[in-house]
Amino acid sequence: MSTTRGLRRRVALGAAVALTLAGLAACVPSEPDGASGGESEDPGRSDGGSGGELAIGTTADVVNFNPLVGNSRTDSWVTNLMYPAMMTIDDDGTKVPALATEWGYGEDGLSAWIEIRDDMEWSDGEPLTAEDVVFTIDAVKAEQLGTVAGMISAYESATAASDTRIEFTLSRPDGAFLNSIGFWMPIVPEHVFGQAPSVADFANDSDWVSAGPFVLTRVERGQRYVLEAVDTYPLAEDGRAALDRVVFRVYPDVNTEVLALRSGEIDLIGNALPPSVARDIEGDEELQTFSVPSLGWAHMQYNMRRSPLDRVEVRRALAHAVDYEAIREVVLGGNAVSANSSVLTPTFKQWVDETAEEYEYDPELSRELLAQAGVENLELEMIYDAGDPNISSWAELVRDQAAEAGITITLAGLERNTYLARTNERDFDIYAGSWAIIDEPQSNFSLLFAPEGFINYAGVNDPEIDRLLAEASSALTVEDARGPLHELARIVTEQVYDNVMYVEQFTFAASNEWTGFQPKPSELLSVVNPQSLASVRAAD
Amino acid sequence: MALLRFASLRVLRGLLTLWFAVSVTFFLVRLLPGDPALAIASPTMGEDQRQQILADFGLDRPLAVQYVTYLGELLQGNLGVSFRQSVPVADVLLERLPWTLILTGSALIVTLLIGLPLGVLAATHRGGALDRVIQIGGVVGQSLFVPTVGIALLYTFGLWLGWFPIGGAIDDDVYGLEAYASMLRHLVLPCLSLVVLQIGAYVLTLRTNLIDALGEEYCTVARAKGAPEHRVVWKHALRNALLPTTTLVGLQLGFLVGGAVLTETIFAYPGVGRAIYESVGQLDFPVLQGAFVLLAAAVVVANLLTDLAYGLLDPRVRAA
């Protein structure tokens, strides 16, 4: 008997030791081979480099290395450093040159062209030409890839007129076409992606080739993504990135990232900091912060398929029952600006409607409007993503303020996938959420307000809106599109088709040991956009 | 002959358990709210594109068809391809598994090395101050919430004292001995939080059993024969008291894995637990199914091996 027990005990401990040793053996990295070590360590750079390593915190792994498929934030941060976009966005929310130098439409709007730089090449030495652009957009159309596929419904075909000129044929005038593909479509190398039987299924998880400032050289899932600077990156001031290396490190959440930043484990946090954390950080002398506006907005939508939300008086009553300024000051700690209840937000200087006015907080007016509509004891449920700290906080304020106007709002903070499912099924009275990026109102507004729009959660179905959408989308210049868009935005505000509450100002934090960051609007571009990371250098 | 019959019955039982676990997982992940296409969808995608994604994942077919296809693939050793990463699930898991083995294995070793002496101390000082402290510590440890322990450890030892790193499992560019040292430094805090959480169960179980054993007649006889107390405790009583404690190792295995999901997430430790956590958020069914098959198989195989070993050594077991 004692032999059996002894054996059990030893089996338990022995198994634990064996498991641990097996794990250890598999995890200890083997030293790189001396002969090829230099090459594999630093494939792009031949000068040895002394620009240092910048460690960036992120809260998620790269899900997919194929930039035409992956669409998570970390995916974009990493792949944007390798697959260049033709345009980027400036502080006024305007699209400006990156890989592209010039672009325009033909007079009838059925053709368009883009000129790209002539000095770009992939890190394996192949030149980046117009052929790569044509290959990319054709792959997106043929295989209906990712986000971009939904933006190119007007696209028919493209040809490379020269190494630097791409000419497009469109089926109808689409004034947002060039800006959309310019900003959203990363250009991939035809000589690599074209080898795969299907671009959609191409994992692109090794032997990366880059035309950005850095190239991925090592991936340790769950831990880090190492990118080395490449020899030439013409968009950088010195013709290449000042840094030698960029490492993305994975942490479970922003709070842990802040611990890591303060302990010196990382130099920069890619994610926007929640307002409470941002306030805390701003007093730290060893850290610097950057503030950029969102390219979207936070809002509530009222489900007009349901009575009595189909009545404009009721929606107005709801809109006047919220103290927006209090939400911006108290919940967001001032890190938000008013959009004057307009879907044309102040982030986009060329579109903003200066005459727009915010819904006034007036519970009495709300009561009157409800009385006019003959609605009593209004009870509604509001759904939101419980994982969003800002919305979870202001949802409570909205509920309490609505109570002042005699409206009962029941809060339903949901797990993210449940929230997405209920939103998609339009199963809500009030939807609270935010758009991350609505950068091209000419085309994006169709998604929001056309009857069949994928994110037309409120159920807008208004012939006047449809007419203005058509007019705006076919306008080929900002001047021509502005009129119909302003008119459309005014109707949206009047009818409370979308209750725009604020535009968040994101805060990012970095160690003071680095300088040269170029923050850009949105959490997508953040301070980790290619232009920014190409110009970061050690502070003196 | 009896041994062969015993062994085949146990293997059959193991396979049935595995099939049950696989099936429950298959249907459970499909009960999660939302669908994988929505988790991926971006606003510019249309309904057509969403339906296309579902079709690509095979989720447009009837559930029964999906289930039979999945079991067929599984029988051929194919765990499928990750929805989100476009790479085989086996690759995803094999990359993560070693880290989970290190974490759970070392947590188990440390728990046993510290927990057993503590249990003995508590039992031999029954009713005394030491006993009370150990008991209270054990109960508190068991009732703590993993993230609370994790964050407390991170603040204290990671940020404030700066002794250990905030996250990860190993530093960049370290090799040989340096790599082992780096892994050890990264292992300390996550391992410690797992130890804190599970050590109570071992200490308290051992304490109770040891107290029972010390009251048994054979211990009285040993004492009457003049054996010193430490010999009575360590040689006679402990051996019997350890039996239920070692059984606890098997029972706690599931708990340890559950703890690893949270611990790995908090400490950014790149193991299977963290992969499970991420896959739940992304509704990556193939990775979730694969991870659970792996864990279920580990538990089933461990139990099977123990059963077989007992059967080999103790004829009474295989007669039962």
Q: How many Cβ contacts (< 8 angstroms) between chains A and B?
A: 215
Per-residue pLDDT for chain B (320 aa), expressed as one digit of tens each?
A: 677 888 888 889 989 999 999 999 999 988 888 788 877 766 667 777 778 888 888 888 899 999 999 999 999 989 988 888 878 999 989 989 899 989 988 998 999 899 989 998 998 888 889 999 998 988 888 888 888 888 899 889 988 898 999 888 888 888 888 889 999 999 999 999 999 888 898 899 889 888 888 888 888 888 888 888 888 888 888 877 777 776 677 667 767 777 888 889 889 899 998 889 888 888 899 999 999 888 888 878 877 777 776 666 666 666 65
- CATH class, domain B89-317, is mainly alpha
- Which residues in chain B have their CB less than 8 angstroms from residue A205's CB? 85, 87
Q: Return the CATH number of the domain spanning residue range A3-82+212-267+513-538.
A: 3.40.190
Residue B197 · residue B149 · CB < 8 Å? yes
H-helix or E-strand spanning residue B219: helix B217-224
Share of residues in chain A with pLDDT > 90 (%): 78
By Cβ distance, the residue of A21, A222, A447 closest to B44 is: A447
Mean pLDDT by 10 residues, chain A (540 residues): 51 68 73 46 50 93 89 91 96 95 96 97 96 97 88 95 97 96 97 94 93 96 93 93 96 89 94 88 90 95 96 97 96 94 96 94 96 94 94 96 96 92 92 94 93 91 96 95 97 97 96 95 94 94
pLDDT at A183: 96
Q: Return the CATH number of the domain spanning residue range A87-193.
A: 3.90.76.10
Q: Measured on CA atoms in the order A531, A534, A539, A540, is the torsion positive or negative?
A: negative
- Which residues in chain A have their CB less than 8 angstroms from residue B86's CB? 64, 66, 69, 201-203
Whole-model pTM above 0.80? yes
The answer, yes or no, to whether ipTM is higher than 0.85 is: no
pLDDT at B65: 92
- Which residues in chain A have their CB less than 8 angstroms from residue B102's CB? 19-20, 23-24, 27
Q: Measured on CA atoms in the order A169, A173, A174, A179, is the torsion positive or negative?
A: positive
Distances (CA, A) of A131 to A3, A160, A194, B86, B178: 75, 6, 11, 26, 48
| Residue recorded with tokens 């671009």 | A199
CA distance B45 to chain A (A): 5
Among chain B residues, CA nearest to A75: B85
And the tokens for A134?
């044509």
Among chain A residues, CA nearest to B106: A20
pLDDT at B143: 84
Q: What are phi and psi of A453, to 5 degrees?
A: -60, 135
Amino acid A97 reads P
Residue A35 forms contact with B (CB below 8 Å): no
CA distance B170 to B164: 11
Q: DSSP code of B234?
A: I
pLDDT at A497: 97
Domain boundaries, chain A: 3-82+212-267+513-538, 87-193, 297-504
- Which residues in chain A have their CB less than 8 angstroms from residue B40's CB? 71
Average pLDDT of chain A, as a whole number? 91
Per-residue pLDDT of B245-270, as tens digits, reads 766 776 677 677 778 888 898 898 99
3-state secondary structure of A134: helix
A478-499 in b/e form (b: 16+ CB < 10 A) is eeebbebbbbbbbbbbebbbbb
CA distance A68 to A189: 12
Q: Please give the CATH topology (third level) of the domain spanning A297-504.
A: Dipeptide-binding Protein; domain 3 (3.10.105)
Per-residue pLDDT of A317-362, as tens digits, reads 999 999 999 999 999 999 999 999 999 999 999 999 999 999 999 9
- Which residues in chain B have their CB less than 8 angstroms from residue A256's CB? 154, 166-167, 266, 268
Domain boundaries, chain B: 89-317
